[in-house]
Amino acid sequence: MTYTAEFAEIYEFIYRSRGKDWAAEAEALTRLIRDRCPEATSLLDVACGTGAHLATFAGDFDEVAGVELSEPMRATAQARLPGVPVHDGDMRDFRLGRRFDAVTCMFNAIGYLGSVAELRQAVWSMAQHLEPGGVLVVEPWWLPERFLDGHLAADADADGTRAVARMSHTTRTGRMSHLEVRFLVGDAGGIREFTQTSHLMLFTRDEYLGAFADAGCPAEFLDDGLTGRGLFVGQRG
């Protein structure tokens, strides 16, 4: 799936209310990358969304760029960061014609791939955009053993001009997880409701590590990561 305009509008608002701090995450990633590649000066953020991580990366690296498939999310990132290239692209087969010292793919974006073959394609595409010695960081969707079937969550926030409520429910069918999220959004124009349903693959740790290794970018798994789902960190030979 690709994210809609109505979701892009409230994306950062509602996830901040859930405790997400893109700036702190980006700073932590910068430290992690520089620990492995101290001279890193360029970074590509794949599936960059609204550019929330890129906004901080732009201050930490001399050159940054993004790739985003969803037009509404991409447009938001481009408006926010007019000096930063944000390319239309699919993580499975994008080609920018240049390399970076670091490539990142964060939050749950990698989970939208529908098979192990697609995972391998995406990791290979990202690794091809790395300079030798460059660092690839991928935040997975939940590993199968960590996924909570039937998990229910609810959050709400308001800022005086807008109020958003979010309720989500997750289920599992074999290797596929299903995330149904319902939003209630209120502002001066009234109250509206919409539902977003995502299907995210539960790739195993070995499948991620195998994809990195076969792309020439052997990786390690950092168990806690940024949000409890862990991080895969590889370095191109």
**pTM of the model as a whole:** 0.96
Residue 2 has pLDDT above 80, yes or no: no
Q: What is the pLDDT of residue 112?
A: 97
Quick one: CA torsion of 152, 157, 163, 167, rounded to 10 degrees? 0
Indicate whether 182 and 216 sit together in one domain. Answer: no
Q: What is the pLDDT of residue 224?
A: 87
Residue 18 main-chain phi, psi, to 5 deg = -90, 5
Indicate whether 86 and 185 sit together in one domain. Answer: no
**What CATH number does the domain containing 46 carry?**
3.40.50.150
Indicate whether 192 and 207 sit together in one domain. Answer: no
**Alpha-carbon gap, residue 15 to 18, rounded angstroms:** 5
The DSSP element (H or E) to which 79 belongs, if any, is helix 71-80
What is the β-pairing status of strands 42-46 and 63-68? parallel
**For 113-135, how does the pLDDT look when each residue is reduced to its tens digit (9 = 90+)?**
999 999 999 999 999 999 999 99
**For 147-167, how does the pLDDT look when each residue is reduced to its tens digit (9 = 90+)?**
999 999 999 999 999 999 999
Indicate whether 178 and 220 sit together in one domain. Answer: no
Indicate whether 86 and 168 sit together in one domain. Answer: no
Q: What is the pLDDT of residue 71?
A: 97
Long-range contacts formed by 185-192: CB under 8 A, 24+ apart: 185/6, 185/10, 186/162, 187/161, 187/162, 187/163, 188/161, 192/6
Indicate whether 70 and 119 sit together in one domain. Answer: yes
User: Span 70-95, mean pLDDT?
Assistant: 97
What band does 1 get if pLDDT is binned at 50, 70 and 90?
A: low
Burial classification of residue 157, based on how many CB atoms lie within 10 Å of its CB (0-12 exposed, 13-18 middle, 19 or more buried): middle
**For 23-37, how does the pLDDT look when each residue is reduced to its tens digit (9 = 90+)?**
999 999 999 999 999
Query: What's the mean pLDDT when you consider all of the chain?
Result: 97
Residue 84 main-chain phi, psi, to 5 deg = -110, 125
Q: What is the pLDDT of residue 235?
A: 98
Indicate whether 63 and 43 sit together in one domain. Answer: yes
Residue 44 main-chain phi, psi, to 5 deg = -115, 130
Domain extent, residue 196, equals 144-201
- Residue 8 structure tokens: 């892009």
- Residue 216 structure tokens: 């020439």
Indicate whether 109 and 219 sit together in one domain. Answer: yes
Indicate the number of domains in the chain.
2
Indicate whether 133 and 121 sit together in one domain. Answer: yes
